[in-house]
Structure 1
Amino acid sequence: MVNEAFELHTEACAHLAGLRSDDRAYNTQRTYAGRIALYLSYCTKNAVDWTRPSLAQLMAMMRWLVDELLPPRGHRPHPEPRFRNKGTANAIMGTVGEFLSWSALQGWVPQTVVSQLVQPKFLHYTPPGFDPGENGQYRTVKERRIKCRVAVPGYEWLSDEQLRTVADCTTHARDQFLVSLLAVTGMRIGEGLGLRREAMHFLPDSASLGCRIEGPHVHVRRRLNSNNAYAKSHHPRWIPVESETVALYADYRYEREVVPAVCAWPACG
């Protein structure tokens, strides 16, 4: 991470290196880098010492995140104004808080700066399985002090007709299989792109593959892939799939097998 003079920001670079050492997902590292750079740029522009921001200065940044006019997208003659939503502002300030807390552990930021980021909150309603303690001492937790109130969004999903429309837009069996796989399993795109053939257990009985799980399914594991696809979760899991997905995978394998034969034609060079 560099400034306008291309000088490295030592503390920010060290924090990003710590994220890599902690095996955080690549997309997470890239997102955090952009958010921390935004915080440092804001501090430079507004003459704020990034190691000692006051509560008022951090709250002013929160308001700025929501009120700032973002650059237009595309080249439309009369683009509509764009602003960050409150959920995005909360996510940015959450990353800033994590960066300041980590920097405090390194001795670069006073602990008083970190302590002002949170406040006590009493849980009147506890989630299932929560242990409040014998005298309710665990009902008081710490919550972020600087955040916007946002409504919890509902779940959104594509209808069967919309899924068919998306599948009909594909031009290769590979893409149609990927769309179907994501729709059936609900896995992340990085998890789908990171699957290997050894993870596809599409037989009724996978005992011959050394797997005791019955029925067609896929195994999702975090590992390094040549295409840089990366599963965000550290925990491996398996997900059942439908027979239609298995058929689409067979079509994809057939399409894949004929590619070398086509490319071996002299005209392909």
Structure 2
Amino acid sequence: MRAFPVDLPSGHRYWTVIDDDLHVVPVADQWLRFLRFGRSRAELTTKSHAGGAAFYFRWCLATGRDWTTAARDLGLFMVWLKYTPSRPVNGSTTVVFGPGTKPVRGERRVNVILTAVRGLLSYAVSVGEAPRSVLGQLYELGDSRDLPAEAQGEDSGLSLRLKARHRLQEPEADVDRATDEEMVGMLHGCHSARDRLIVLLDGRVGLRRGQITGLHRSDCHLLPDSRALGCDYEGAHVHVKRRDNANRAWSKSKKEWIQPLDFLVVQAFDQYFDERHEILGAGGSDFLLVNLFREPLGAPMPPDALNELFDRLSRRAKLSRRVTPHMGRRAFGSNVADAGGSPDEVQALLGQDSPESVRPYLIPDRARLREAVERVPSPRGLHRREGR
């Protein structure tokens, strides 16, 4: 069992599950198609869920269980996931584990797979492929008292919800942002105007990888007055849209929004357009960012290319760590807050759906924290006593 990409004649792609004989698993395929096209989920979401479902089917086959009723043994599945490698060890298909055995998957990875399994089985129940009793094996009734205060809503009354029965406690993840010095260092390490524009769209505009590589030239309005383009928004800006793109770029935000640009970013646009025209002339696709230095010239850059670029720039700038595109996005959100931006302004500029989702992006600059401490006045009379 494994996940497998499916390219449709329309140009859309989703991921499904196939068995060892290369036959599609019908219920998994129906569920994944429903996610991709019925729920408008990203291709990468179906890839992740297809991989999780493949693990579940593989475990059922290896242990002789019926996948429609094996949810009662998900605790054993979790142990199997934690210690069973994807490939045989030293040619053996037998896996022996016990005290002191090193896990092959962490808590976060196991939880991602369990999320996929719950989605698969819930869908199977809804279409009559699995008994309704499976839902009771996946979920229990929980109430709002165990939720954080900000997630309980304005209604103070007790509310019930379905709570997953099987979930591992994940370690607290470190959340970090790129420093201004790191972003400037990477800008100096850029060898082209295109790469400088990418760094600025990340660290000074705050767009995600899929949003940057999903921009079309028609989305970019750089004139002070865009009414000639049929747009009433004043000032330079880009329209961030969710759409199916040929390069697999995908905006995580469901809504479309307008992102303002400052003069530094507009200047970077101008320099890039000159560079692009010198290399491609009027050719190339309608995508904003295209291949200029590798074949096929003019083809849109895929999102993964930004990871490779940031790796190279981190090395060229001789940074002490690898800076990722998402660290640049966090730096943007934090810099807006450091400059006095209100939470609703940060939320709108990051394209987030709720105020709670903005919190991971608000990481104060260390210098601002130092200034905050120094602004705290000393207790009255403390200096006088210390001088005695």
TM-score, with structure 2 as normaliser: 0.59
Q: 1:123 to 1:226 in 2, by over 3 A?
A: closer
Aligned to 2:347: none
Q: Tell me which of 105, 115, 121 is aligned to 2:136.
A: 115
Q: Tell me which of 44, 59, 75 is aligned to 2:75.
A: 59
Q: Tell me which of 52, 61, 65 is aligned to 1:48.
A: 65
Aligned to 1:132: 155
Letter in structure 2 aligned against 1:26: E
CA distance in 2, matches of 1:251, 1:102: 50
Instruction: Report deviation, 1:154.
Output: 4.6
Aligned to 2:368: none
State yes or no: 1:13 paired with 2:29: yes
> 1:141-172, CA deviations, whole angstroms, 9 ceiling, x for partnerless residues?
22111001124435321112222333344332
Q: Tell me which of 250, 254, 268 is aligned to 1:248.
A: 268
Q: 1:38 to 1:170 in 2, by over 3 A?
A: farther
Letter in structure 2 aligned against 1:40: F
Length, aligned pairs only: 249
Q: 1:116 to 1:129 in 2, by over 3 A?
A: closer
State yes or no: 1:32 paired with 2:52: no
> 1:62-82, CA deviations, whole angstroms, 9 ceiling, x for partnerless residues?
2332334467xxxxxxxxx88
Aligned to 1:89: 110
State yes or no: 1:170 paired with 2:193: no
Aligned to 2:226: 206
- Range with bigger deviation, 147-156 or 21-30: 147-156
CA distance in 2, matches of 1:20, 1:144: 23
Spell out structure 1 runs of 4+ moving beyond 4 A: none
Name stretches of at least 5 consecutive residues in structure 1 with no aligned partner.
72-80, 264-269
Match runs of 1:183-202 below 5 Å: 183-202=203-222
Identity %: 29
Aligned to 2:20: 4
The answer to whether the Cα contact below 8 Å between 1:70 and 1:84 also exists between their aligned partners in 2 is no
Aligned to 1:157: 177
The answer to whether the Cα contact below 8 Å between 1:194 and 1:231 also exists between their aligned partners in 2 is yes
Instruction: Report deviation, 1:256.
Output: 0.6
The answer to whether the Cα contact below 8 Å between 1:52 and 1:109 also exists between their aligned partners in 2 is yes
Aligned to 2:244: 224
The answer to whether the Cα contact below 8 Å between 1:59 and 1:146 also exists between their aligned partners in 2 is yes
CA distance in 2, matches of 1:6, 1:227: 26
> 1:198-256, CA deviations, whole angstroms, 9 ceiling, x for partnerless residues?
21122333333332323322111112333332223321012223321111111110001
SS at match of 2:170: coil
- Range with bigger deviation, 208-217 or 229-238: 208-217
Q: 1:179 to 1:70 in 2, by over 3 A?
A: farther
CA distance in 2, matches of 1:114, 1:50: 14
Name stretches of at least 5 consecutive residues in structure 2 with no aligned partner.
1-16, 88-101, 284-388
Letter in structure 1 aligned against 2:83: D
CA distance in 2, matches of 1:248, 1:47: 60
> 1:173-208, CA deviations, whole angstroms, 9 ceiling, x for partnerless residues?
212211210122322211111101221122333333
Match runs of 1:72-83 below 5 Å: 83=104
Aligned to 1:182: 202
CA distance in 1, matches of 2:53, 2:151: 35
SS at match of 1:219: strand
Q: 1:119 to 1:162 in 2, by over 3 A?
A: same
CA distance in 2, matches of 1:128, 1:20: 27
